[in-house]
Amino acid sequence: MHDQKISSLQVENRRFSPSESFQAQSSITAQTIESLQKLASQDVVAFWEHQANELHWFRKWEKSFEWNYPFMKWFQGGLLNLSYNCLDIHLSTNRANKAAIIWESEPGEIRTITYRQLHKEVCKLAEALLQLGVKKGDVVAIYMGMVPEATMAMLACARIGAIHNVIFGGFSEESLKDRINDSKAVCLITQDVAQRKGFFIQLKETADIAMASCPTIQHSIVYQRSATMYTPMQAGRDHWWHELTANKKGNIAPEQLDAEHPLFILYTSGSTGKPKGIFHTTGGYATQVRYSVQLVFDIRETDVYFCTADVGWITGHSYITYGPLMHGATVLMYEGTPTYPTAGRIWEIIERHNVTILYTAPTAIRSFMSFGERYPLASDLSSLRLLGTVGEPINPEAWMWYYSVIGKNNCPIVDTWWQTETGSIMISPIPSVTTITPGTATAPLPGVIADVVRSDGSSCEINEGGYLVIKHPVPSMARTVFGDDERYKQTYWSEFPPNEHHQGFYFTGDGARKDEFGNIWIMGRVDDVVNVSGHRLGTAEVESALVAHPDVAEAAVIAKPDEVKGNALIAFVTMNKTAQYDPKLMNEELRQWVGKEIGSIAKPDEIRFTEQLPKTRSGKIMRRLLREIVASGTISGDTTTLEDFSALESLRKQEEE
Ligand code: WT7
């Protein structure tokens, strides 16, 4: 861990209390939260049992919690099925014909899928998977765009106890291949093309290249998004979704799964080059995701809930698919870019479908802001009652814009802090209760014991910067890193191992401080993980993609604050001595190279060529120094010139002392 001094100059005094009208419509009062907090402080395990009871169980659990540092188990012996909890439980109620998903395609087509229809489609696909020989415990990779079929694919896996591994549709064939191979997926569900910014994204074509190097894949199921595209299909391996499901009845029984049966693997970036397969199980995840939707989104029968995340990220798992569907909510799903064909698209969608809850990311808000107020002002946004953000700290300016221009000073904003690893929201305001200050995710939800601590584990003073930890395991936490228990232990549980005072703290990787009101202010990552446009990237991942280029000798990637994206990536690159290149052309070539190795989201914003990188005597690249150079503007301007770090020799010496 970098024991750097974490400091912040942010001072924010504005405070916003929930309006009386919002409170009057909510079933959650200050008393509700107080009694939940009381129960949690008396017995946190009993608290979570209480929440788990809200789910449908085929058989109740025998053991509520087991802690064998650093491995946890929740609700062992209990049998449930998450697709049952998202679908079947609604069919005997008047939600059966309620819209589960309203989908708007980028070109403007609208599809409404009721709970009954969704159940049927999920069952048909589940039958098809079984027919192909996919068994309980097998891994199924999903590489799709934002279509309802992506949700169906996840739920179909959950129905038969297959483990889904959703891979973001923007990832390259290399990233796709690595994630399929690491998880040993036996089947890949994809689509011919996805539509984005008016273009067709050739998902099946990319999948074909990846599958050629994926020995474990036996079958692929291809959803036909376009009626006109020609898609090569490999006989015996590739199957059209519509053909495979055509003769299925659509009513297979859900597999009764142990609470600790794996639900999904989702790859995320860490501080080393290799992405981690974050491994989540069924019962605890479902319990806490369900609970958080109720508390944070104050979900109601009449809500139309719109989350702009992609299914390829954890937000798309917990808060597009499982969370809202467990509550029988109507989910608005949009296929394309929210600013396409004009910057007004997202606001038109909200007006057209009477969206009541909007959940998006600060980077998206900043991008909406950059187009000016006239776009949101052109649409009727009066259906909105609650706004949410996730992914990075929201700067107060963007918060105020979201609050006033979008929410018309009438909608609480829930700034939700969580991670792929925590599975569900950990820190957030309760919209009907919490007094909110822009820029802070406020306080942990009842049942979550989070704190800001020093490296020895002691609690920080008010406003003293420290490390954000979670002091007791919670049900929706990742159980391990797929295939790498040691990495799980190292990354999350070894900074604050058990001692005479506690049983070990979960380390989030974030720096934070707590103010005099108990609000937690996230101050960014303390490891080499950066947030670019709400996407989490490991700088080491981008570095290893760069050095994979035949002309590159060494690379160091750092982040630089960026107004819209949150962070921009700056790469310092040393070329092989023998390499002949034109810096301008090589700059573009390397950006394309990284795009191919990882995906467009990882392309560095700037590449700077240098004869050498500043290093410690032991050979460690001094990224801190590079960050300072970029921040102070010591070296700036022409990005294609060679940087000479020899002038930094004195700095290097100081650093070593
Ligand atoms: C990291 C987790 C959880 C879904 C999206 C990102 C940062 C997340 C907030 C917030 C400040 C935030 C943290 C965290 N982060 N939400 N509300 N305020 N920072 O999931 O890709 O797993 O990234 O995102 O640094 O550790 P992820």
391 lines ligand 1 (CB under 6 A): yes
Per-residue confidence (pLDDT) for residue 266, from 0 to 100: 98
Smallest CA separation from ligand 1 atom 8, residue: 391
pLDDT tens-digit series, residues 37-85: 999 999 999 999 999 999 999 999 999 999 999 999 999 999 999 999 9
Q: How many residues does the chain have?
A: 657
Smallest CA separation from ligand 1 atom 20, residue: 419
The SS3 call for residue 572 is: strand
pLDDT tens-digit series, residues 227-267: 888 999 999 999 999 999 999 999 999 999 999 999 999 99
User: Shortest CA distance to 310 belongs to which of 438, 151, 489, 439?
Assistant: 151
pLDDT of 9 higher than 50: no
**571 and 608 Cβ atoms separated by less than 8 Å:** yes
120 lines ligand 1 (CB under 6 A): no
Task: Annotate 2-23 with three-state secondary structure.
Answer: CCCCCCCCCCCCCCECCCHHHH
Smallest CA separation from ligand 1 atom 2, residue: 419
CA 120 / ligand 1 centre spacing (Å): 35
What is the secondary structure of 103-172 as a DSSP string?
A: EE-TTS-EEEEEHHHHHHHHHHHHHHHHHTT--TT-EEEEE--SSHHHHHHHHHHHHHTPEEEE--TTB-
- pTM, full prediction: 0.91
pLDDT of 341 higher than 50: yes
| 221 strand-pairing partners | 189, 239
192 lines ligand 1 (CB under 6 A): no
Q: Which atom of ligand 1 is nearest to the CA of 315?
A: 4
Q: Which residues are CB-contacts of 602 (< 8 A; sequence separation ≥ 6)?
A: 532, 537, 541, 542, 545, 569, 594, 595
Q: Which atom of ligand 1 is nearest to the CA of 428?
A: 17
User: Shortest CA distance to 523 belongs to which of 491, 561, 556, 496?
Assistant: 561
Q: Which atom of ligand 1 is nearest to the CA of 421?
A: 22
Q: Given the DSSP bridges, would you call strands 450-453 and 466-470 parallel, antiparallel or unpaired?
A: antiparallel
Query: Which of 531, 533, 535, 537 should be mutated for ligand 1, with most atoms under 8 A from CB?
Result: 531
Q: Which atom of ligand 1 is nearest to the CA of 509?
A: 26
Q: Is the Cα torsion angle 210, 211, 216, 217 positive or negative in sign?
A: positive
Mean pLDDT, the chain, as a whole number?
92
CA 184 / ligand 1 centre spacing (Å): 28
* Distance (Å, whole) CA 393 – CA 403: 15
CA 269 / ligand 1 centre spacing (Å): 12
pLDDT of 88 higher than 90: yes
pLDDT tens-digit series, residues 176-221: 999 999 999 999 999 999 999 999 999 999 999 999 999 999 999 9
CA 186 / ligand 1 centre spacing (Å): 31
pLDDT tens-digit series, residues 518-567: 999 998 888 888 889 888 888 888 998 998 899 998 899 999 988 888 89
pLDDT tens-digit series, residues 573-630: 999 988 999 999 999 999 999 999 999 999 999 999 988 888 776 667 778 788 888 8
pLDDT of 121 higher than 80: yes
pLDDT tens-digit series, residues 315-327: 999 999 999 999 9
pLDDT of 145 higher than 80: yes
Q: Which residues are CB-contacts of 470 (< 8 A; sequence separation ≥ 6)?
A: 422, 426, 448, 449, 450, 477, 505, 506, 508
Distance of CA 315 to the CA centre of its chain: 5
Q: What percent of the chain lies above the pLDDT cut of 70?
A: 94
Structural tokens at position 381: 């946004």
| 450 strand-pairing partners | 470
CA 508 / ligand 1 centre spacing (Å): 10
113 lines ligand 1 (CB under 6 A): no
